[in-house]
Structure 1
Amino acid sequence: MSNRSIRRSLGRSLAVAGALGTAVALVGCAAGSAPAGSAPAGSAPADAAASTLGTADNPVQLGVVGAAEPYWTAFEEAAEAEGIELDIVDFTDYNQPNPAVSEGELDINQFQHIIYLANYNTQAGDDLQPIGSTATYPIGLYSSQYESVEEIPDGAEVIVPNDDTNQARGLLVLQSAGLVALEEGGTPYSTVDDIIEEESRVTVSAVDAAITATSLPDVAAAIVNNDFLTDAGIDPADAIAQDDPADPAAQPYINIFATTAENADDEVLNRLVEIFQTNEEVQAGALESSGGTGLFVSTPKAELQESLASVQEALEQQ
Structure 2
Amino acid sequence: MTNPSRSVDQCPNNTDTQNLKAVVEFRLLKLSTEPDLQPILFLLFLSMYVVTVLGNLLIILAVSLESQLHTPMYFFLSNLSLADICFISTTVPKMIVDILTRKSVISYAGCLTQMSLLILFGCMDYMLLTVMAYYRFVAICQPLQYSIIMNSCFCIFLVFVSFLFSLMDSQLHNLIVLKFTYFQDASISSFCCEPTHILKMDCMENFTKNIITYFVGAIFVFFPISVILFSYYKIISSILRIPSSGGKYKAFSTCGSHLSVVCLFYGTSIGMYLESTLAHSPRKSVVSSIMYTIVTPMLNPFIYSLRNKDIKNALRRLYSRKF
Name the structure with the higher helix share. 2
Check whether TM > 0.5: no
Largest Rg, 1 or 2: 2
Name the structure with the higher strand share. 1
Return the TM-score normalized by structure 2: 0.24
